[in-house]
């Protein structure tokens, strides 16, 4: 029987990068989104000073683990064990205007570094997850460009730092592919102290500064995180250049 996602409480000292607003001017939420009582961003202060041009979110490689699960859903955990994470994204254009009805795909590995849907997973390359669809999902943005996924904090696998993949389809003829990265201090705390992240005999081998994809993506692909009573929340603004 698979366990429910667990929650933990960290002090601010234990998670130095916990509240890390996206650097470089990419973080923006319109006032009406913050004011809406039913908005998943209600009460969150992730505002860009001034409403000028948004810094375009860097595109990155898709990686070998993408497929369309054909599952439009908010909860993508499918019972995978790990620390609960709410991933909240807002899709905007180059002028910071929210993009409604944009399709957003997300996918990532579980606490032990396994992706769904592929053979050759794990430290021994002997785990086969063919036919499974855990930690994958699709949603369409609302009028404020918002989507929210219930998931778990991603683990790691050899040669890569901790990340979540995403694709944004602003319309049927265009797509943007990127990755979301997390504070190394928080990741290391979880991987060292919390099961099942710390159940592995192998040790994490790649940090943000050592990951070529993370370095090229830069600070605009770093999630802003905060701790709540029930989960961590990761937030990021995805600014799409529709004029390119």
Per-residue pLDDT at 109: 97
Fold entry, domain 31-240: Protocatechuate 3,4-Dioxygenase, subunit A (2.60.130)
For tokens 């990532």, name the residue. Answer: 108
Per-residue pLDDT at 54: 67
Q: What is the pLDDT of residues 127-147, one digit of tens each?
A: 999 999 999 999 999 988 899
* Domain boundaries of the chain, sorted by first residue: 31-240
For tokens 């205007």, name the residue. Answer: 97
Q: Which H or E run includes 213?
A: helix 212-217
Q: Which two tokens stand for residue 216?
A: 């090229």
- Tell whether the model's pLDDT for residue 22 goes beyond 60: no
Average of per-residue pLDDT values in the chain: 81
Measured CA to CA in angstroms, residue 92 lies from 46, 129, 146 at distances of 14, 34, 9
Q: State yes or no: cis peptide before 196, omega within 30 of 0.
A: yes
Classify 212 as helix, strand or coil.
helix
- Tell whether the model's pLDDT for residue 156 goes beyond 50: yes
- Tell whether the model's pLDDT for residue 7 goes beyond 70: no
For the chain, helix (H) and strand (E) counts, in that order, are 3, 8
Per-residue pLDDT at 144: 85
Residues near 151 by beta carbon (within 8 Å), at least 6 away in sequence: 75, 76, 77, 84, 85, 86, 87, 106, 108, 135, 164
């Amino acid at each position: 029987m698979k366990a429910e996602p667990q929650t933990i409480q960290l002090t601010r000292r234990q998670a130095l990068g916990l509240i890390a607003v996206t650097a470089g001017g990419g973080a923006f939420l319109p006032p009406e989104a913050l004011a809406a009582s039913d908005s998943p961003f209600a009460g969150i202060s992730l505002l860009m000073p001034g409403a000028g041009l948004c810094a375009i979110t860097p595109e990155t490689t898709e990686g070998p683990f993408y497929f369309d699960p054909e599952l439009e859903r908010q909860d993508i955990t499918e019972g995978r064990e790990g620390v609960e994470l709410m991933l909240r994204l807002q899709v905007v254009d180059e002028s910071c205007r929210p993009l409604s009805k944009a399709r957003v795909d997300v996918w990532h590995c579980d606490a032990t570094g396994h992706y769904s849907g592929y053979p050759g997973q794990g430290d021994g390359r002997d785990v086969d997850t063919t036919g499974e669809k855990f930690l994958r999902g699709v949603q369409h943005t609302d009028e404020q460009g918002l989507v929210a996924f219930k998931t778990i904090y991603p683990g790691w696998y050899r040669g890569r730092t901790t990340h979540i993949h995403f694709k944004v389809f602003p319309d049927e003829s265009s797509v943007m592919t990127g990755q979301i990265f997390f504070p190394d201090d928080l990741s290391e705390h979880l991987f060292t102290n919390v099961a099942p992240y710390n159940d592995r005999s192998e040790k994490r081998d790649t940090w943000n500064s050592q990951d070529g994809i993370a370095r090229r993506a830069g600070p605009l692909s770093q999630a802003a995180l905060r701790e709540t009573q029930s989960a961590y929340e990761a937030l990021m603004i995805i600014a799409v250049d529709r004029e390119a």
